[in-house]
A = this chain, B = another copy of it.
Amino acid sequence: MPNPTAAMLVIGDEILSGRTRDANMAHLAQEFTAAGIDLKEARVVSDDPAAIVAAVNALRDAYDVVVTSGGIGPTHDDITADCIAEAFGVGIDVREDARALMEAHYSKTGRELNEARLRMARIPDGATLIENEVSAAPGFSIGNVHVMAGVPSVFQAMLREVLPTLNGGQPLLSRSKRVEQAEGDIAGPLRVMAGEFTDLSIGSYPFSEGRIYGANVVVRGTDEDRLDAAMARLDEMFG
């Protein structure tokens, strides 16, 4: 059975204006790779309702699993939950289970559960909460879409909650060999090899360090024996 496919949607003007560098994509990619879930696409869109709704609907139709990050805080620019409700055509309101989570948290910290914070308890109808140990405000899952925070520590905590609920597949394994020959010189032999190992993906990532031109050749696949065979071939070809 092929691995499930996945996409990520990063929501936020701050990434597209260059102010903030997204950190969640690389983390999700690594976790999904280890879990045997194939991350096939990632998109970044701005804080624009039409763009968010369109992207959510395109991705949830095309992939088995969708993860979003960003836009679920207490401020006016946090519009993700409303957009998800619109994408699914369901209502959204403060939900008692979410409010209870937040009340418990704020009563401990002495902060007020004011109107702005209560917005974070607004959950689309039919969603299940993603609790997390870092922040009071929950994420949520609806259909095949998992809605998480943009702050990396909270995103990671939410992913730890969600990952065990997803059906993974065979972990994608990878091996890497550093070759100190220019990419243009190893490309021919690599192409022949790729034709023989069609069950593996073979990537070449060039580097230059001063006067050394080389490439990291990365072999990916799910079968350990085949990876061993590919690495042996690389050693044979490039020493």
Contact = CB atoms under 8 A, between A and B. Distances in A.
A3 interface: no
Contacts of A15: 25-26, 29, 42
A206 B21 contact: no
Instruction: Give the size category of A's interface with B.
Output: 35 or more
Identical copies of this chain, number: 2
Interface stretch (A84-92, A111-119, A140-148, A157-165): A111-119
Nearest to A205: B14
Interface stretch (A70-78, A93-101, A122-130, A224-232): A70-78
B26 A40 contact: no
Contacts of A186: 75
A64 interface: no
Interface of A: 13-22, 25-33, 39-48, 51, 73-77, 111-112, 114-117, 119-120, 151, 172, 174, 182-188, 190-191, 194, 201-206, 215, 218, 220
